Structure 1
Amino acid sequence: MRSLIRWAAAVAVLSVTAIGPAFAQADWPARPVRIIVPAPAGGPYDRAIRPLAQQLSLSLRQPVVVDNRPSAGNIVGTQAGATAAPDGYTLTMTGMLNTIAQSMYDNVPFDIVKDFEHVGSIGEGAQWLVVRPDANVSSFQDLVEQAKREPGKINYASSGAGSSGHLVMELLQRAAGIQFTHVPYKGGAPALQDVLAGVVPLTILPTSAALSSVQAGKLKVLAVTSGQRSPLVPNVPTFAELGYKQLAVNSWVGLSAPKGTPAPVVQKLNAALQSAMKDPALLKQLDAEGLIPLVSTPEQYTQLVRSDTERWGQLVRSLNIKAN
């Protein structure tokens, strides 16, 4: 009888242990969900994530709060997300910058591919190659021809070594067999300021950063990195149209959960994300930030993170760039 009692007790304990996580997953979410945004409050990514958080809260029937943790390379905020409890209550806004930083910095305390369960993508944005109208550059082909005649004589500004603009320009130089001189700045704003002031003639910027100056006639767009022409500048060719398919580069962002987050929770998060991406107000805000909606499954977003980590890692290592 005692053996039978011990056996029954053991079965009961195992049953509770097995049912507990399943019940927690079925009951999720039972409290507010946090999204860590490794970028400053009020910035373009922050402005995009807040209306998304509102829509997610409606789908999940729980508050979804935004936690801004900016830092160089998005490392501090992303690390906090990677080391959070894998229970579905902490998400992190991840993006292409993470895939670049993985090789740019020594001893990154997480692996952007392996230390997350990637939930889904949100949007992607193109880069615009722009010059001042008085820079004596009539077209992209004219720029290439000038660079071939005078290697290294044309300067271009970027928001810093290893930034997406810097790496796209490195890809361009390799593809076209030309040479520019890189002038790195500490951020996109001072880089743009000096281009507008005529200190540096050329730069490459996200759509949202370039648009107002282009519309004011202060900058001219030579080419765009998107797969299709932008309706904002329909007469400007894509790099692919110009014969440089390897420059089809869009910066993207999405949501990720800590590694080990249960698959049913990840699927619920993805379903809520896809539902939120149908909201007209959110789509309008993404458009204002130069982001094209990019809806994906967890598997598709995981593949995007993996492929861009490999792509940018190879380029960063070949250029021997370090941001430490």
Structure 2
Amino acid sequence: MLRLLMAIACLSSIVATAQTTAWPTHPIKVVVPAPAGGPYDRIMRPLAQKMATSLGQPLVIDNRPSAGNIVGTQYGASAAPDGYTLTMTGMLNTIAQGMYDKIPFDIAKDFEPVGAIGEGAQWLIVRSDSGIASLSDLLAKAKKAPGKVDYASSGAGSTGHLLMELLQRAAKVQLTHVPYKGGAPALQDVLAGVVAVMIIPPNAAQASVQSGKLRVIAVSSAQRSPAWEDVPTFAELGYPDLTVSSWVGLSAPKGTSAAVVNKLNAALIQALNDKALLQHLDAEGLTPLRTTPKQYGDLVVKDLNRWSALVRSLGLRAN
């Protein structure tokens, strides 16, 4: 009986190893919890093509958009842990976890992290003719007239909104939040002079900055951008808590084998070393992040703790 049990165990191990070695044998689905043509989608499609080359199977994009990226992420969390369904996850998930009641998954516990894709800084922008030439100008104006300076955001709980809340706390000033249904209408009202200021990803405002319509007065990255060396970081200006980069990555359902996760991570790293893909990511305002699965998991947990605490303290609820 002992010999029989040992033989069964060995056979099971051989079968499992063979399955992992053979994986993948058919196309892999990548759930993008955002609309086709949006930033997530534009990042994932060329990346999927590069990863498919090294994995030997196509990566098929499945767009499942919803508020807070919840619908698509839930679908990815509940998929079979066989390596054939991946989900594009990001910092937005860690914010949404604290804003929505009864989210049917836990972004940190219900996924196996595969790896980060990249991160992007945020710009604090004003209209060039606003009379605000620096962060100190903005804060002086806000202190002189508490609550009279408006700032736009793409919605309550967005990265721009939360960063402006952090700035108000750190600088001890009061501004008035004007939430919009998306970044595009918010930016249009800043350009029109309806709202004074907003925080926005660089790729969304770059054309208007280059044309002279907008001015960047601070950036949320840890270091200045080589392409915009005259723009100071928040940390340089005395606000290190505003050193924030929005990030995205790939995750697999909880229980996916370590061997499959490691293969996926290797394919992801290889893709992130491709020059053409790096140029595409740069155009999207994204700097590549090459992480191990554990490092990506640690990033998820770190920001989940950070943003959940801030969201709770602000009393923000999206329901």
Q: TM-score, normalised by structure 1?
A: 0.95
- Please name the residue that 1:273 is paired with: 268
Q: What per-residue deviation string (whole Å, max 9, x for no partner) do you get for residues 129-168 of structure 1?
A: 0011122212111111111111111000000000010000
- Please name the residue that 1:105 is paired with: 100
2: distance between equivalents of 1:107 and 1:176? 34
2: distance between equivalents of 1:10 and 1:139? 73
- Please name the residue that 2:253 is paired with: 258
Matching of residue 185 in structure 1 with residue 180 in structure 2: yes
**Aligned pairs for 1:212-251 within 5 A:** 212-251=207-246
Q: What per-residue deviation string (whole Å, max 9, x for no partner) do you get for residues 88-147 of structure 1?
A: 111111000000000010001100000010010011001000011122212111111111
Give secondary structure in 2 for the equivalent of 1:284.
Answer: helix
Instruction: Tell me the CA shift for residue 67 of structure 1.
Output: 1.0
Count of residue pairs the alignment pairs up: 319
Mind listing any 5+ residue stretches in structure 2 that lack a counterpart?
none
**Among candidates 180, 198, 202, match of residue 193 of structure 2:** 198
1: distance between equivalents of 2:275 and 2:157? 35
2: distance between equivalents of 1:11 and 1:306? 40
* Greater CA drift, 213-222 or 12-21: 12-21
2: distance between equivalents of 1:296 and 1:34? 22
**Aligned pairs for 1:127-166 within 5 A:** 127-166=122-161
Give secondary structure in 2 for the equivalent of 1:220.
Answer: strand
Instruction: Tell me the CA shift for residue 26 of structure 1.
Output: 1.6
Give secondary structure in 1 for the equivalent of 2:116.
Answer: strand
- Please name the residue that 2:277 is paired with: 282
Give secondary structure in 1 for the equivalent of 2:226.
Answer: coil
1: distance between equivalents of 2:318 and 2:10? 51
**1:85 alignment partner AA:** A
Instruction: Tell me the CA shift for residue 228 of structure 1.
Output: 1.0
**2:273 alignment partner AA:** K
**Among candidates 78, 81, 85, match of residue 86 of structure 1:** 81
Matching of residue 25 in structure 1 with residue 30 in structure 2: no
Q: What per-residue deviation string (whole Å, max 9, x for no partner) do you get for residues 280-308 of structure 1?
A: 11101100000011111111100000000
2: distance between equivalents of 1:30 and 1:189? 42
2: distance between equivalents of 1:143 and 1:258? 45
Instruction: Tell me the CA shift for residue 201 of structure 1.
Output: 1.2
* Greater CA drift, 13-22 or 263-272: 13-22
**2:193 alignment partner AA:** G
- Please name the residue that 2:60 is paired with: 65
Give secondary structure in 2 for the equivalent of 1:232.
Answer: helix
Give secondary structure in 1 for the equivalent of 2:221.
Answer: coil
Q: TM-score, normalised by structure 2?
A: 0.97
1: distance between equivalents of 2:207 and 2:133? 20
2: distance between equivalents of 1:314 and 1:108? 17
